[in-house]
Amino acid sequence: MIPPPLRWALGMFALSLLGGAPRAAYAQNSEPLAIVVNRNNPLSEISLADLRRVFRGQRSRWTNGRRVTLVMRDAGAPERDAIIRGLYGLDEAQYRRTFLQAVFSGEAPEAPKTLVSTNGVLRFVYNVPGAIGYVRARDVNASVKMLRVDGRLPGEPGYRLGVTAQ
Amino acid sequence: MHFRVPRGGPNRLDEYGTGGPRWSVAGGSLSCTSPLVQTMRLAARIATLALLPTVAAAQAQSDYPATQQGTATSTAATPGTAAETPDDAPRGRLLVVDCPPSHPGAPGAAVGDSATTALVAALCARAGQPAAASIRHVFAPLTDVSNTPKQEEHDEHGEAQAAEQSLGPQFRVHLFGDVKFSAIDSLGARNGFSLGQFDLFGRSQLSDKLSVLTEATLTALPRNTYSARLERLLLTYSPNDYLIASAGRYHSSIGYYNTAYHHGSWFQTAIGRPMVFALDGDIGLLPAHTLGISATGDIPSGALGLRYVAEGGSGRAGQSSAATAPQPALTDNNTPSFNIGVTMRPDRMDGLQLGATLYRDRLTLADTSKRAINELIGGAHALYKTDAVELLGEWLAIRHQSRGGAPANVSRGWYAQASRRFRAVRPYVRYDYVDVAPANQIFAFLGRRSGPTGGVRFDFDALAAFKLQASHLDQTTRSTMNRVDAQISFMF
C-alpha cells in the first residue's frame, strides 16, 4: 500500500513526463561540431558520457594531471546552443543556473571561459594546455587536436554533435 | 615632387610633438610646401634616389614582412600630403626626418650614407635646426591585417596566462538575496514582508590544485536585527578527480539536498528547504554543517559513475553552529563525527542519481546528570533531473541511543518533490514528513509534522525568479498551519 503523499508524488511524476522531456538529439540537417583540445593533451578519444562529465564540471583533471579548462562560445552562438542542448540537455537559462549551482556547491571548479569567435576558441585551446572547446568541424586546423567522440569523428555516421543548419 | 611645409611656417612644425620640425616623404617623395624650401626641389629629386638604399636596409631590419611594408619607390609626386590621402587611396610609406632640438647636447643619430646625410643636413638647415638628424620609417595603415593578432585573440590567451601568472589570486564573488511576503493563519503569526538571507559566496583559485570557497550570510531577524554567520570556509586541495580533500567548515554531505542547495534560495525550485533539511538555526533536525576535514572523488566504476565522500568533524556541538537553538541542550565533547556516502550517476540514464549516506556522532548533553547519546543518521536519495523534469526524493532515519542503556529511539523524515518546466514557468509540488520519536531527548518538541506544498516558480529573468506557493502543515505539537508565501529571489 503506497501512502497517499507518495501516490501524489508519483502522480506528479507521471504528469511531468507528459509531452516528454526535451532530449538531446542530433538533427539530421546539421553541421558536425568538433570537440577540440590542446595538442599536448594525451587524449584522442572520449566517450559521450565522459564528455558530458567534462562539460558539466564533474571532471577537473585530464589524465596528464592538467586542470580542465572549459571554453564556451558566447550566448547566442549556434555552436553554444548545440552543446548546451547536446551535452547538458538544457537551455541557456537552465545551463547558467545549473553551472552556477555546481560552482556554488563546489562540485565544478570554475565557470567556463567564454569566447566570442571560432578563432578565439582555437587560439585559446592552442595556448592553454588543459583547454577543451568546440568549433564547427570545417574550422578545425592543425593548431588543435580534434577528439573522437564514442570512436567517431565529425561527419562519420553516428556522430552526435552538430549545429542545426540555419 | 613637391616640398611642403605645413601652413603657418616652420614654427608649426612643433605640433608634431617631437620638439623639432619634421619633414615627410610620401609615396617615396619628400613633401614640404613652404616657399622657403622651394629651392630644395632639385636636391630632393636627387635625394630620393639616394634614400632608396636606406629604405631597403630598414625594411630588411623590420619585424614586419616586406609584403606588409609597402614598397619604396621613386614615384612621381602627387598632390597632397599623406595626411590628406583619402582612406580608400592606396597607402604608401612615410619617411620622417627628425631634426633634433636646437639645444646643445641633444642626441643625434646617424642618418645613413653621405648623400642622405647631406640632404638631411640641408633640410634641417633650412628649417633652422642643427644638422644632426635621424630618419624614421612610418608605415601607412595596412589594409590587410589578416596576419595581425586581433585584440580579442590577445585576450583569449592573455587572460589565461594572466590568471596563471597573476601575483595574487582572483576572488570571484556572487551575492544572493530574496524578499518574501508571508500570510500565515496561525495564532500570533504576523503577515507581511521579510528579508530572507543575504548570501555572499566567494571562490578563489589559489594555485593549480588549491582553492578556497567561502560563504557568509546575513539573516534578518525580528526587531530589525541581523545575524551574521560564516556558513562555509573551505580550503580545497584537488590533485585529481579521485581525491578532492578539504578542510574547514562545510555543509555535511547528509543526503542530497544539503550539499546541492545551500543558502542562496534562488537555486531552489521552491521557496524553502524541505522540512527534514531545515537549517540549524531554524528547526534543524540534522547537523547541516560540519567543521573538520572531508574527502570526495570518483570511484573507478566505468558507466556506473560512482563517487564517494568521507567526512570527519567536531560534530553537532561546539564549533558547529548547531550549538545555537534549537539544540541548546548539547555541549562539546572529544568525540568526532564521521560521515560516509556513496552516490551513483549511471551513464545510461542521464539525470538520474542515487545515493546513500551514514553519519555517526556522539551527543553530550549540557545536563551532566544525563548520559551521552550515540547518534546514527542514515539517508538514501533518488533524483532525476533534466531540463524540464525534476524529481527529488529523500528518506532519512535518525537513531538515538543513550549510553546509559535506555532503548534506542528512531525519528524519520522524508520528502518528495516534483516539478515540470514549461518555458519560464515551473509548477511544483512537495510533500514533507518529519516524525520525531517522543523519547528523543533533543528534538521531541518537533513532534510529527507533515503536509503538502504547491507552488509555481517564474524565472522572469536569467538571474531572478518569482515564486508563489501555498502550504498546509499538520503538527502534533502545535496547531495546524496554512500559509501562502511569495518570494522574489535573485543573484548578482
The C-alpha atoms of residue A161 and residue A84 are separated, in whole angstroms, by 11
Listed residue (B396, B399, B301) closest to B356, CA to CA: B396
CB-CB neighbors (< 8 A) of B390 in chain A: 16
Give domain status of residue B144, yes or no.
no
CB-CB neighbors (< 8 A) of B201 in chain A: 104
Task: Specify the DSSP element, H or E, that contains B267.
Answer: none
Claim to verify: residue B132 and residue B189 sit in the same structural domain:
no
| Average predicted confidence (pLDDT) for chain A | 83
CB-CB neighbors (< 8 A) of B160 in chain A: 69, 113, 124, 127-128, 131
- The answer to whether residues B256 and B277 touch, using CB atoms and an 8 Å cutoff, is no
The C-alpha atoms of residue A159 and residue B289 are separated, in whole angstroms, by 45
User: What is residue B327's predicted lDDT score, i.e. its pLDDT?
Assistant: 55
User: What is residue A98's predicted lDDT score, i.e. its pLDDT?
Assistant: 84
Task: List the domain range (segments joined by +) for residue B31.
Answer: 10-139
Selected residue of B151, B156, B197, B235 to mutate for chain A interface (largest A Cβ count, 10 A): B156
Listed residue (A96, A88, A81) closest to A27, CA to CA: A81
A97 touching B (Cβ < 8 Å): yes
A76 touching B (Cβ < 8 Å): no
Give domain status of residue B40, yes or no.
yes
pLDDT higher than 70, residue A146: yes
How many domains is chain B partitioned into structurally?
2
Claim to verify: residue B112 and residue B207 sit in the same structural domain:
no
Query: CA quadruple B431, B342, B402, B288: dihedral positive or negative?
Result: negative
B393 touching A (Cβ < 8 Å): yes
Question: Is B462 in contact with A69 (Cβ distance < 8 A)?
Answer: no
Give domain status of residue B160, yes or no.
no
Question: Is A104 in contact with B174 (Cβ distance < 8 A)?
Answer: yes
Query: What is the side-by-side strand order in the sheet with B134-139?
Result: B29-31, B22-26, B93-98, B134-139
Question: Is A52 in contact with B350 (Cβ distance < 8 A)?
Answer: yes
Question: Is B161 in contact with A127 (Cβ distance < 8 A)?
Answer: yes
pTM, full prediction: 0.70
Claim to verify: residue B377 and residue B274 sit in the same structural domain:
yes
CB-CB neighbors (< 8 A) of A6 in chain B: 416, 431
* DSSP state, residue B187: T
Question: How is residue B470 written as a grid cell?
Answer: 501555498
Give domain status of residue B306, yes or no.
yes
Claim to verify: residue B86 and residue B197 sit in the same structural domain:
no
Give domain status of residue B152, yes or no.
no
CATH 3.40.50.2300 fits A4-164, yes or no: no
Relative to beta strand B192-195, strand B134-139 is unpaired
Question: Is B234 in contact with A106 (Cβ distance < 8 A)?
Answer: yes
- The answer to whether residues B72 and B62 touch, using CB atoms and an 8 Å cutoff, is no
Listed residue (B115, B16, B29) closest to B72, CA to CA: B29
Q: Report the 10 Å Cβ neighbour count for B96.
A: 16
Local structure of A98: helix, strand or coil = helix
> B333-350 as b/e, with b when 16 or more CB fall inside 10 Å?
beebbbbebebbbbbeeb
Entry field: residues in chain A: 166
CB-CB neighbors (< 8 A) of B350 in chain A: 52, 89
Selected residue of A12, A47, A72 to mutate for chain B interface (largest B Cβ count, 10 A): A12
Tell me the residues of chain B between 172 and 231 that have a Cβ less than 8 Å away from chain A: 172, 174, 201, 203, 205, 208-209, 211, 213
Give domain status of residue B88, yes or no.
yes
A78 touching B (Cβ < 8 Å): no
Give domain status of residue B131, yes or no.
yes
Domain boundaries along the sequence of chain A: 4-164
Give domain status of residue B442, yes or no.
yes
CB-CB neighbors (< 8 A) of B159 in chain A: 113
The C-alpha atoms of residue B140 and residue B134 are separated, in whole angstroms, by 19
Claim to verify: residue B178 and residue B267 sit in the same structural domain:
yes
Q: Tens-of-pLDDT digits for all 492 residues of chain B?
A: 444 434 433 333 333 333 333 444 344 444 444 454 454 565 555 555 555 554 444 444 444 444 334 333 333 333 333 333 333 334 444 445 555 544 443 334 444 445 555 555 666 565 555 444 444 433 333 333 333 333 344 445 444 444 445 566 778 888 999 999 999 998 777 888 988 889 999 988 898 889 999 999 988 877 778 888 888 999 999 998 899 999 999 999 999 999 988 788 899 999 999 999 987 655 678 888 888 999 999 999 988 999 999 999 987 765 444 445 445 566 667 788 999 999 999 988 888 999 999 999 988 887 778 888 999 999 999 999 888 899 999 999 999 998 888 889 999 999 999 999 998 999 999 999 999 999 988 888 889 999 999 999 999 998 999 999 999 999 998 889 999 999 999 998
- The answer to whether residues A111 and A68 touch, using CB atoms and an 8 Å cutoff, is no
Please give the C-alpha separations between residue A138 and each of A37, A115, A142, B88, B422, in angstroms, as whole numbers: 16, 18, 12, 33, 36
Please name the residues in contact with A4: beta carbons below 8 A apart, sequence gap of 6 or more: none
Please name the residues in contact with A37: beta carbons below 8 A apart, sequence gap of 6 or more: A43, A125, A131, A132, A133, A144, A145, A147
B113 touching A (Cβ < 8 Å): no
Local structure of B317: helix, strand or coil = coil
Residue with cell 503536509: B451
